[in-house]
Every structure is written in C-alpha cells, then in structure tokens.
Amino acid sequence: MKANYKNIIPLKQLLAPAQKNGFAIGAFSPRYTAMIRSVLLAAEHLQSPAIVQIAQVELGWYQSNLVDFAHVFWQQVDELQPTIPIGLHLDHTQDFELIKQAIDLGFTSVMIDASQQPLDGNIATTRQVVEYAHAHGVSVEAELGKIGTADFIESDVDEELYTDPQEAALFVAQTGVDALAVSVGTAHGVYLVRQPKVDIGRLNAIRALTDVALVLHGGSGTPAEMVHNAIQLSGGGVSKVNIATDLELGMLAALGRKERTTEAGLNLLPAADIEIGAKAVQKVVEEKIINYLGSAQKKDLYQLG
Ligand SMILES: [Zn+2]
C-alpha cells in the first residue's frame, strides 16, 4: 500500500517554506474517500503543496475507517503520480492507538488534541506522542486553548478559550511539537450562530514568543482578508489552514443534496454523480489555493529528495 515517495513529506518540512515565504498550505479534509482524488488533482493542477487530512470524528460521522482512507490515498498517489509536496495528516484525535495506526499506514503527521486537559496534562500527553512520532519520522500538531464550533452541527459544545501567548511558548518548549493549532476566533463548521474573526494581535503576541508553525482551524467560511492577515504576519504567520466543511458543501450543492451522506452512501451513487461531486470539490480546493492560501506555483520552494 504505502510506498516511498520523496514528495510525500512530514508536516514540519511542508510548513517551513510556507512560514518563511508568506503563504499557507491547505489541510483539506475530503471526508469521503472518493474525494481524495479531487484534492490531489487540484493541488497538482496549480503546482501547490497540499495536505490531505481526516479527523477521528469524521471517520465516525461517515462510517469510514482509517485503513480504507489510507488505502484510497495511496492508491490515488500510485495512479496519479503527483509531483507536488504532499502531507497525509490525521486531524484531531486523543487516541494514541489511532495515532500509532496512522503512523503504520504512512501518515506523515498526526494531531494530538489534548486541549481539554489542564496545561500540565496537555504537555505530558503531547510530549509522549511527540517522542513516539518523531522516532518514526512523523511530525506532530497539538492544540492549546479551545477552538469552538460555529454551527452546533459538528459539535454541540461551543466552549472557546483563546490561546495564551506565554503558555504557547512554554508548551512548545516543553513538548517539542512541530505545529500548534491556536484558538484566535475561528470556529469549526459553518458560521450560523456567530461571525468569524481572527485576533491578529494575539497571533502577533504568540509569534513574538515562539517560532513554531501556527495552524488555523475552522478555515471554512472565514473571509479571505482575515485569512491573508493571519498568513502574512511579520515574523511568519499561520502556515497551515484547515478546510473541511466548504469541500463538502461544494459537493452537496453540485449533487443537489442538502444533507451529508455516509462513505457507503456516497459510493452507492452512480459513477457520473460521484464525478460531478468530485469536480465540485476540486473547484473548491483550487479556489482556496488561489484566493485563500496563496500556495499556487510554490512547488519549486521545496527540495524533494
Ligand atoms: Zn480543528
């Protein structure tokens, strides 16, 4: 299944040129395995680095699993032979066993989200994952502060706690994480019950104290100008932006559906319908790369192999 492709690289190597050169890499969740191909095609078309990711909670919603997801990813890579830098990332999990499984399946980075724990517990849990992952050549993202929900669809809790800059510096120093998801005003899901915002002052204060790669979750629906400001921070802005909901909304709109389906439900649709959905997802990803992330034509900044 997994092979050694020199362009499929750990998060740390993906994000460094982005942070240095004022662009960000989209971490796109295709949610359905049939949509993984769309992310790869869009990124290759625009010669943009990209991350394919899936969160543990998404595997639950779509009645999918990590083995199938990884299998389809590697199958598509074998078929398409993309030339751009790519990451395969496990988003939000608290489950160390799932992290170990992801690493065995060839994921190049994982996110341990122990942000619900008090600071010392978050540090201890994260450090344990960092030790294991780094020993396997895999990067780690962690979260400090709490990122809320915007629509009460993906989560019924909207507990939000902005990241404290001093704590962020301490957390990075004590855990050795490669990337840090910060809570600065964006939220997961569709903005129905509140408006998106990005606290640039807070991002600047965090950047002044640590050079860790910064990650913005809840990229769907956040106005491009806010995202640009976060990416183009002096001293190196956000270099990874998570985008999930907008891909699925694009797919559902193209199919004339209002409600999400399951992995099996989507795969039961006629091939022509799946293709319509896949084209829509590709279009959304291309639009994000151009208008949000500024990552098109950045392939040459990477030394691959
Ligand atoms: Zn998130």
Query: In degrees, to the nearest 5, what angle opens at C-alpha 262 toward C-alphas 91 and 273?
Result: 110
Q: Which pLDDT does position 193 carry in this prediction?
A: 67
Domains of the chain: 11-301 (3.20.20.70)
Stretch (H or E) spanning 214: strand 213-216
Residues in contact with 270: Cβ distance below 8 Å, sequence separation at least 6, in sequence order: none
Going from the Cα of 17 to the center of ligand 1, the distance in angstroms, rounded, reads 22
Q: So what's the pLDDT on residue 3?
A: 63
156 is catalytic: no
pTM of the full structure: 0.95
Looking at residue 186, its pLDDT comes to: 85
Which residue, 58, 135, 147, 74, is CA-closest to 107? 74
Measured in Å, residue 25 CA sits from the centre of ligand 1 at: 15
104-145 pLDDT, tens per residue?
Answer: 999 999 999 998 899 999 999 999 999 999 999 999 999 998
Rounded distance from Cα 199 to ligand 1 centre (Å) = 17
CA–centroid distance, residue 201 to ligand 1 (Å)? 21
Catalytic pick from 68, 78, 91, 164? 91
CA of 6 to the centre of ligand 1 (A): 28
Residues with CB under 5 A from ligand 1 (ion): 217
CA distance 5 to 82: 10
Ligand 1 center to residue 305 CA distance, Å?
A: 31
All residue ranges of the chain with pLDDT < 70 are 1-3, 149-160, 193
Separation in Å, CA 215 to CA 125, 218, 280: 19, 10, 25
